[in-house]
Chains A and B, each alone.
Chain A
């Protein structure tokens, strides 16, 4: 009964979405207030309907209703309750429902928190989101219904959830990521509404900015969580693999980051209107593209969903209509988008353009690398692989320029600035950064390598430049503390996010170049020396848990005779599926991780183990968190909290 109810709510949601996606457009066109007001109500209704539908599926999981095919395939009576609740998004159908539900949540948020918008804009934004909802809800209903029953032969028990997903990281990673992906659809809707209106004024940019930032925060956290999860769960110590699915989440992030910056120029200076709106469309298109790549099976990836060409065709059609329509509208209205071009070669406008060009170029690297296997197959029927040897150097190339640009760009004036004024102090800071990082790195490892010095110096320089900027901003006040207080939150946000970028870069570079990996054979009661560490294999035990059996090695690690830590890497055998999982044991630290995983059993109780030393790996995620925090600070700046935007004069004074 409950699954039918869920199915019913989903059908109602489709009807509601069709209403939302059509009538308000008509209302906005004919200035019909009733129809425009309908949009907010329908948007909130959409959220309630989909939430209800989602809860129904969750209940089916909690109640072990194996007559529902999706539950039978992805759950089991033995599965712990917390994983039953999260198994809802453990595979294609359910995660799609989560996706649609989150989309509706964003719609409801727009309906509730955008009182400052004109009714025409709000109606169009919500109606655009309604159309997107029509696409996704019908995708669920017609190709991927999570409520489908397997009658009359109901399985006695379910096939269990993929063991990789029975884990904390997997509980939080997908919702975060979806919040980000779907959040960009709000920005897309703003772009469409702006294009329909024909005029993307500074007010439009001001409205779109906080939504973009919030979506970007979620995506940043989501990607970081995914990377962290892969690091500890996949058992080989990597944190980024340039896998198509990872790239699918990274590309919207790159485009979204570019958008954040170009929106600033559009808001403050009325510059780059057509480019900004194109970026907004691009960011959302890349989110959709990610959905297509992950759910259609055109690319091979470690974490692709069960795939189906029919589903692929559906999303592709949807992608074609949504993005094709948006780009056609863009081409049609292109003439009307008049940007303010009053700036010179040394100005914040140009710094932002350079930021965008560099982000776009690195986006092209990722996009081409991801899609090239498809292109090569299409053009000359050849299967090729693109991996880290392509991505790493090429991406880093553009990224180094980005790092180089920020110290100058972040404190440039609009319209016109003097490079000579900032050049010398910045170069002095750079020199300082080079000296510090060379010393640090030569202390860390005997060998001084070129690329780590370049990367760490640039990151350190960026951090120093952020600090110097704080000092500069607080100079005019009576005391330093007073000055610090006067700095706007949006500035703090920017500086924190840029520092976060530096932190992530340091982590990425140091861990890439200075990680140590050893394969060791170890017998029970034996001590093996690995570098400066002694590892003592104390014992090996088997434990039985709810739904798996764990084989655990107890390894005592000591350094110079002092006990450091006891690590217990495991192999798990999941009872229902019989799948074997490797659970690494990690001794985490701010400056380095010790990471041990069991490779394979050898003769006479001995084991081959993998021992990794991962310096600064935590910094990769720490930096991402700082970036997200920076975004939060920027959004909380008080100018976004005004109920009604005051007229032209009011907001110009702020910039």
Chain B
């Protein structure tokens, strides 16, 4: 009996894996599915999201995302589920945590500093009459 059950599970999972034309409860759910699939990196591949990758593992993970959405889980829960298993590597969106401050704030900081320096230096400058010969 148990073997039969296992075999049944197998069958179900295989057919559902092969057929990726998922039915969603709402357009909102479908949008969320694509959003999540695009933000998860396929751990096996070079550099592709699970949405873009043809790898069998990506197929499994897409199916998992689909199932979890159907079961009512939200994006945060699904991303966390993946992160607990595959590490930060699977998340294409690095969290804004102290470790990642350099990444998130450096370009902005550089930009602001240069702008302030610029205004400070040029702000009140008066135009000097130019000597024609000098140029």
Q: Assess A/B contact in the complex (Cβ within 8 A).
A: yes
Interfacial residues, chain A to chain B (CB-CB below 8 A) = 234, 236, 238, 241, 243-244, 270, 300-302, 304, 340-345, 350, 353, 357-358, 360-362, 364-365, 368-369, 372, 375-376, 380, 382-390, 394, 398, 415-416, 517, 519-521, 582, 599-600, 602-603, 608, 648, 652
Q: Is the pair B103, A300 in contact by a Cβ cutoff of 8 Å?
A: no
What are the residues of chain A within 8 A of B127 when measuring CB–CB?
342-344, 415-416
* Residues 1-53 (chain B) with a chain A CB within 8 angstroms: 18-22, 34, 38-39, 41, 45-49, 51-52
Q: A345-B119, A380-B99 are in contact. List 14 more A-B contacts (CB 8 A).
A: A236-B51, A341-B125, A342-B127, A344-B125, A345-B125, A357-B111, A360-B110, A361-B111, A372-B103, A384-B88, A390-B94, A600-B18, A603-B18, A608-B20
Contact partner, B41, options A357, A358, A360, A387, Cβ 8 Å:
A387
Decide if B115 is an interface residue (CB 8 Å cutoff). yes
Chain A nearest Cβ from B130, distance in angstroms: 6
- Pairs across A and B, CB under 8 Å, 20 listed: A238-B52, A243-B47, A300-B46, A302-B47, A341-B125, A342-B128, A343-B125, A344-B126, A357-B111, A362-B107, A364-B107, A368-B103, A385-B90, A387-B41, A388-B92, A398-B107, A416-B127, A600-B20, A602-B19, A652-B135
CA distance A519 to B22 in the complex (A): 8
Closest to B95 in A: A384
Cβ contact within 8 Å between A599 and B20: yes
Given contacts A345-B122, A394-B107, contact A384 B89 (CB under 8 A): yes
A344 in contact with B122 given A300-B46, A608-B21 (CB within 8 Å): yes
| A380-B99, A386-B103 known; A350+B122 contact, CB < 8 A | yes
Q: Which A residue sits closest to B107, measured CB to CB?
A: A364
Contact of B122 among A243, A343, A599 (CB under 8 A): A343
3 closest A-B pairs by CB: A387-B92, A389-B93, A521-B21
Chain B residues lying within 8 Å of A368, measured Cβ to Cβ, are 102-103, 106-107
Residues of A within 8 A of B122 (CB): 343-345, 350
Kindly state whether residue B118 has any CB partner on chain A within 8 Å. yes
* Smallest CB gap from B108: residue in A: A361
Q: How far is the CA of A300 from the CA of B46 in the complex (A)?
A: 5
| Interface check B114, CB cutoff 8 A | yes
| Residue of B39, B119, B126, B135 with most chain A CB atoms under a 10 A cut-off | B135
Give the contacting residue for A384; candidates B18, B19, B94; CB below 8 A.
B94
B interface residues, tally (CB under 8 Å) = 45
- B88 A350 Cβ-Cβ under 8 A: no
Enumerate chain A residues within 8 angstroms of B107, measured Cβ to Cβ.
Answer: 361-362, 364-365, 368, 394, 398
Take A300-B46, A344-B122 as given contacts and tell me if A517 and B34 are in contact as well, using a CB distance cutoff of 8 Å: yes
- Complex Cα distance, B20 from A382, in Å, reads 33
Complex formed: what's the CA distance from A343 to B90 in Å? Answer: 50
CA A415 to CA B128, docked complex, whole Å: 9
B65 within 8 A of partner (CB): no
Which residues from B are CB-within-8-Å of A244?
Answer: 47
CA distance A342 to B107 in the complex (A): 29
Complex Cα spacing A227 to B107, Å: 26
Q: Does B123 reach chain A (CB closer than 8 Å)?
A: yes
Q: Does B69 contact A (CB under 8 A)?
A: no
| Known contacts A300-B47, A599-B20: A386-B94 contact under CB 8 Å | yes
Given the known interface contacts A344-B126, A385-B41, A600-B18, the answer about A390 and B93 at a Cβ–Cβ threshold of 8 Å is yes
Give every chain A residue within 8 A of B99 (Cβ-Cβ). 376, 380
Considering the chains assembled together, what is the distance between the CA atoms of A277 and B97 in angstroms?
37
Residues of B within 8 A of A301 (CB): 46-47
Contacts of B54 in A (CB 8 A): 582
A603 to chain B, nearest CB (A): 8
Contact B114 A389 (CB under 8 A): no
Q: Determine if A353 and B88 form an interchain contact, defined as CB atoms under 8 angstroms apart.
A: no
Please indicate the chain B residues that have their CB under 8 angstroms from the CB of A652 in the complex. 135
Q: How far is the CA of A47 from the CA of B109 in the complex (A)?
A: 45
Chain A facing B: main interface SS = mixed
Does the CB pair B91–A385 fall under 8 Å? Answer: yes
Q: How far is the CB of B133 from chain A (nearest CB, A)?
A: 9
Q: Min CB distance, A274 to chain B, in Å?
A: 15
> Is B92's CB under 8 angstroms from A364's CB?
no
Residue contact A520 to B88, C-beta cutoff 8 Å: no
CA of A383 to CA of B94, assembled, Å: 11
CA distance A300 to B47 in the complex (A): 6
Please, which residues of chain B bring their CB within 8 A of the CB of A383? 87-89
Chain B residues within an 8 Å CB radius of A365: 107
Q: Tell me whether A389 and B39 are in contact in the complex, defined as CB-CB below 8 angstroms, given that A301-B46, A368-B103 are known contacts.
A: yes
* Docked pose: A501 CA to B133 CA in angstroms: 39
A18 CB, nearest partner CB in chain B, Å: 38
The residue on B at minimum CB distance from A386 is B94
B130 nearest in chain A by CB position: A342
B88 x A364 contact (CB < 8 A): no
B126 nearest CB neighbor, chain A only: A344
Q: A389-B39, A519-B22 are in contact. Are A302 and B115 (CB under 8 A)?
A: no
Nearest B-chain residue to A521, judged by Cβ: B21
In the bound complex, residues from chain A placing their C-beta under 8 Å from that of B39 are 387-389
Report Cα–Cα, A345/B119, bound state, in Å.
Answer: 7
Closest Cβ–Cβ distance, residue B80 to chain A (whole Å): 16
Minimum CB–CB distance for A363 against chain B, Å: 9
Which residues of the other chain, A, contact B93 by a CB distance below 8 angstroms? 387, 389-390
Q: How far is the CA of A228 from the CA of B87 in the complex (A)?
A: 33
* Minimal beta-carbon separation of A510 from chain B (angstroms): 17
Q: Which residue of B lies closest to A387 (CB)?
A: B92
List, in ascending order, chain B residues with CB within 8 A of A234's CB: 52
Residues A385 and B18 in contact, CB atoms below 8 Å apart: no
- Shortest beta-carbon distance from B69 to chain A in Å: 15
Give, as a whole number of angstroms, the nearest-CB distance from B85 to chain A: 14
A19 to B130, CA, bound (A): 46
Contact A350/B118 with A361-B107, A517-B34 known, Cβ cut-off 8 Å: yes
- Expressed in whole angstroms, the minimum distance between the Cβ of B4 and any Cβ of chain A is 22
Q: Are B90 and A520 in contact (CB under 8 A)?
A: no
A345 to B106, CA, bound (A): 26
Bound complex: CA of A190 vs CA of B111, how far in Å?
Answer: 28
B59 to A, closest residue via Cβ = A600
**Residues of chain A contacted by B119 (CB below 8 angstroms):** 345
For B122, the closest partner residue in chain A by CB is A345
Rounded to whole angstroms, the CA-CA distance of A341 and B128 in the bound complex is: 10
Closest B residue to A363 using CB positions:
B107
Q: Are B106 and A357 within 8 A (Cβ)?
A: no
Please, which residue of chain A has its CB at the minimum distance from the CB of B92? Answer: A387
- Chain A min CB distance to B18 (Å): 6
Q: How far is the CB of A415 from chain B (nearest CB, A)?
A: 6
CB distance from A230 to the nearest CB of B (A): 11
Q: How far is the CA of A521 from the CA of B103 in the complex (A)?
A: 42
**Nearest residue in B to A528 (C-beta to C-beta)?**
B21
B56 → A minimal CB distance (Å): 11
Give the chain B neighbours of A388 by CB distance below 8 A.
Answer: 38-39, 92
Bound CA span A305–B118, Å = 43
Shortest Cβ distance from residue A379 to the other chain B in the assembled complex, whole angstroms: 8
- Given the complex of chains A and B, what is the CA–CA distance between A372 and B88 in angstroms? 13
- Chain B min CB distance to A578 (Å): 15
Q: Name the residue of chain B whose CB is nearest to the CB of A599.
A: B20
**Assembly CA distance A476 to B23 (angstroms):** 65
* Chain B minimum-CB-distance residue to A519: B21
